[in-house]
């Protein structure tokens, strides 16, 4: 399959207050966000022409920027409106949305408090790649070679671009060995998350998920916890040791891109996606398209 480069596509991108031709949405090579990681972003999904949990995503984008020490020059309501304008311009029913905010090129150095803050919002086609039935085969994960840092070592509550460097390294390592993704431990050696999705274990009828104290408490994560509660399934948030995977009957991941994705393998552990995974895959699909 031929991949279309993301800098050479038709359409438009919302960029600093206006829709501009896709190919004209450019930044300078000496942009601070590129060199020093002063950049935050969101990953959102469009279902039936509507962004799921849009305001929650816009709110988190603003908060992520604040944690990196800069303010986005648009309110949450204005970001919502800009996102809806970008989605409408794309004319897509099922799509992915990438809002991104960053420090510009006015100052080049570690300290760049006088830099202009930019905001762009891009939308592109993102169909549902798997039916609920096909998802139930589960994906294979290896152990990640990198760990999630302590909150004293990085702004772990921010969806900051720089925090994904070790995710890229871990996912590349997994793909090189024939896996789809990697499962990351945290700085304490406890279960954390996959490279871009939160983790859940089904143990004896209850759902267990790591406490998000050094990684993002995902919007999809919270949605799935609510869906489980509606089914009367108890969800336990706690610190989980890696060896506890041996006690799990089912394992799954959640995220805006991943949605609800069952797991069949983590390193030496094997799982059979079953009743709980199937129910939540279907419940989540009904929720986002309802």
Q: Which residue ranges make up each domain of the chain? A: 12-125, 132-289
Alpha-carbon torsion angle 96, 97, 98, 99, nearest 10: -170
Say if residue 1's pLDDT is above 60. Answer: no
Catalytic residues: 159
The fold for domain 132-289 equals D-amino Acid Aminotransferase; Chain A, domain 2 (3.20.10)
The pLDDT value recorded for residue 249 is 97
pLDDT per residue over 189-232, tens digit each? 999 999 999 999 999 999 999 999 999 999 999 999 999 999 99
- Tell me the whole-structure pTM to 2 decimals: 0.95
pLDDT per residue over 156-189, tens digit each? 999 999 999 999 999 999 999 999 999 999 999 9
- CATH ID of 12-125, from 3.30.470.10, 3.30.43.10, 3.30.360.10, 1.20.1630.10: 3.30.470.10
Mean pLDDT of 43-69: 97
Output the six-digit token pair for 126. Answer: 């993102």
Say if residue 240's pLDDT is above 60. Answer: yes
pLDDT per residue over 48-59, tens digit each? 999 999 999 999
β-pairing verdict for 117-125 and 235-238:
unpaired
Say if residue 153's pLDDT is above 90. Answer: yes
Is 64 within 8 Å of 159 (Cβ atoms)?
Answer: yes
Burial class of residue 100 (count of CB atoms within 10 Å of its CB; 0-12, 13-18, 19+): middle
């Amino acid at each position: 399959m031929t991949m279309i480069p993301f800098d050479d596509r038709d359409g438009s991108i919302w960029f600093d207050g206006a829709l501009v031709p896709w190919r004209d949405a450019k930044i300078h090579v000496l942009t601070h966000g590129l060199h020093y990681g002063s950049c935050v972003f969101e990953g959102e999904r469009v279902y039936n022409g509507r962004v799921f949990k849009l305001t929650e995503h816009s709110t988190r984008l603003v908060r992520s920027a604040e944690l990196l020490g800069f303010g986005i020059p648009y309110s949450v309501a204005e970001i919502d409106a800009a996102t809806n304008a970008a989605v409408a311009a794309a004319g897509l029913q099922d799509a992915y949305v990438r809002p991104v905010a960053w420090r510009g090129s006015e100052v080049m150095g570690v300290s760049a408090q006088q830099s202009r803050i930019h905001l762009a919002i891009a939308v592109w086609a993102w169909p549902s790649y798997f039916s609920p039935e096909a998802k139930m085969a589960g994906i294979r994960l290896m152990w990640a070679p990198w760990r999630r840092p302590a909150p004293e070592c990085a702004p772990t509550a921010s969806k900051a671009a720089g925090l994904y460097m070790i995710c890229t390294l871990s996912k590349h390592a997994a793909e090189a060995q024939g896996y789809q993704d990697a499962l990351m431990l945290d700085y304490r050696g406890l279960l954390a998350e996959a490279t871009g999705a939160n983790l859940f274990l089904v143990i004896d009828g209850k759902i267990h998920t790591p406490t998000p104290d050094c990684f993002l408490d995902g919007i999809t994560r919270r949605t799935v916890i609510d869906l489980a509660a509606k089914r009367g399934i108890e969800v336990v948030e706690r610190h989980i040791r890696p060896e506890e995977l041996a006690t799990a009957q089912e394992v799954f991941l959640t995220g805006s891109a991943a949605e609800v994705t069952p797991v069949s393998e983590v390193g030496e552990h094997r799982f059979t996606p079953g009743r709980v995974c199937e129910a939540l895959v279907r419940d989540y699909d009904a929720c986002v398209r309802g």
